[in-house]
Amino acid sequence: MVFMNAGGGGGAASASSSVGGEAAWAPQFTKSKVAAGLLAILLGAFGAHKFYFGKWIQGIVYLVFFWTYIPAILGIIEGIRYLVLSDQDFAQKYDDGYKA
């Protein structure tokens, strides 16, 4: 598995296979669902997963309200949700750099 920094680049290797004379390309991901899930579960109270996705406003809201434990509970729920989604579903919903 390849872990990427927030800047992106790389991701899943682009593999090509010859199908009917055309090359079929694998999708390229810029965000790792495992990294996002672990950030949400372990540091979700501080909005680390929101900052990882580039959602700065939501991350700041999590930081402001971390003392209420509500962001911690939401972070655990979101982290589990990230981890149980298939790679394709995760990429479509959360990965801005996803290319099919």
3-state secondary structure 24-87: EECCECCCCHHHHHHHHHHHHHHCHHHHHCCCHHHHHHHHHCHHHCHHHHHHHHHHHHHHHCCH
Distance CA 84, CA 40 (A): 13
Is the distance from CB of 20 to CB of 33 less than 8 angstroms?
no
Cα separation, 46 vs 60, in Å, equals 8
Domain boundaries, the chain: 31-94
The dihedral built from the CA positions of residue 66, 67, 70 and 72, taken in this order, carries a sign that is: positive
pLDDT tens digits in sequence order for the chain, 100 residues long: 455 555 555 445 444 444 555 556 566 668 899 999 999 999 999 999 999 999 999 999 999 999 999 999 999 999 999 999 998 899 888 877 666 5
Q: Are 11 and 28 in contact (CB under 8 A)?
A: yes
Q: Look up the pTM and report it.
A: 0.68
- Give the pLDDT confidence score for residue 91 in this predicted structure: 87
What pLDDT score does 28 carry?
67
User: Partners of 14 in the beta sheet?
Assistant: none
